[in-house]
Amino acid sequence: MERSSDKVTFSVETPLKLSSGIDLAPVTMAYETYGTLNAERTNAVLVCHALTGDQYAASRHPITGKPGWWETIIGPGKPLDTDRYFIICPNVIGGCMGTTGPRETDPATGKPWGIRFPVITIADMVRGQAMLLDHLGIPDLFCAIGGSMGGMQVLQWASDYGDRVFAAAPIATAARHSAQNIAFHEVGRQAIMADPDWHGGEYLAHGTSPQKGLAVARMTAHITYLSEVALHRKFGRNLQDREALSFGFDADFQVESYLRHQGITFVDRFDANSYLYITRAMDYFDLAADHGGVLADAFKGTETRFCVISFTSDWLFPTVESRRIVQALNAVAADVSFVEIETDRGHDAFLLDEPEMFRTLRGFLQSAAEARGL
Ligand X SMILES: CC(=O)SCCNC(=O)CCNC(=O)[C@H](O)C(C)(C)COP(=O)(O)OP(=O)(O)OC[C@H]1O[C@@H](n2cnc3c(N)ncnc32)[C@H](O)[C@@H]1OP(=O)(O)O
Q: Which residues are catalytic?
A: 148, 314, 347
Give the nearer residue to ligand HSE in terms of CB position, either 52 or 99: 52
* Alpha helix segments (H runs only) across the chain: 122-136, 149-160, 179-194, 211-225, 228-235, 254-266, 272-284, 319-331, 355-372
C-beta separation of 94 from 120 below 8 A? yes
Residue 160 buriedness (CB in 10 A; 0-12 / 13-18 / 19+): middle
Q: Which residue numbers belong to the known binding site for substrate?
A: 218, 348
Out of ligand X, ligand HSE, none, what residue 366 binds, judged by CB under 5 to 8 A for its kind, is none
Size of the site for ligand HSE (CB under 6 A): 7
Residues 196-235 touching ligand HSE, rule: CB under 6 A, are: 225
| Of the candidates 94, 99, 87, the residue with the CA atom closest to the CA atom of residue 136 | 87
Contacting range for ligand HSE; rule: CB under 6 A; set: 51-59, 82-90, 100-108, 199-207: 51-59
H helix and E strand count, the chain: 9, 13
Give the nearer residue to ligand HSE in terms of CB position, either 48 or 50: 50
Of 16, 24, 30, 53, which lies in the binding site for ligand HSE, with binding defined by CB under 6 A?
53
Give the nearer residue to ligand X in terms of CB position, either 223 or 331: 223
CA dist 11 and 16 (Å) reads: 11
Give the nearer residue to ligand HSE in terms of CB position, either 43 or 148: 148
CA dist 225 and 211 (Å) reads: 21
CA dist 353 and 349 (Å) reads: 8
AA identity, residue 347: H
Q: Is 173 in the site for ligand HSE (CB under 6 A)?
A: no
| Of the candidates 87, 89, 86, the residue with the CA atom closest to the CA atom of residue 38 | 86
* Site residues (vs ligand X, CB under 6 A): 49-50, 52-53, 69, 147, 150, 225, 240, 254, 257-258, 261, 265, 348, 351-352
Contacting range for ligand HSE; rule: CB under 6 A; set: 6-14, 49-57, 158-166, 289-297: 49-57
Residues 248-287 touching ligand HSE, rule: CB under 6 A, are: none
Of 43, 52, 100, 153, which lies in the binding site for ligand HSE, with binding defined by CB under 6 A?
52
Out of ligand X, ligand HSE, none, what residue 261 binds, judged by CB under 5 to 8 A for its kind, is ligand X
Give the nearer residue to ligand X in terms of CB position, either 104 or 348: 348
| Of the candidates 322, 324, 331, the residue with the CA atom closest to the CA atom of residue 302 | 331
C-beta separation of 274 from 95 below 8 A? yes
- Provide the minimum distance between the beta carbon of 327 and ligand X in the complex, in angstroms, as a whole number: 25
AA identity, residue 340: E
| Of the candidates 45, 44, 61, the residue with the CA atom closest to the CA atom of residue 53 | 61
- Provide the minimum distance between the beta carbon of 53 and ligand HSE in the complex, in angstroms, as a whole number: 5
Of 29, 44, 47, 50, which lies in the binding site for ligand HSE, with binding defined by CB under 6 A?
50
Given the rule CB under 6 A, which residues bind ligand HSE? 50-53, 148, 225, 348
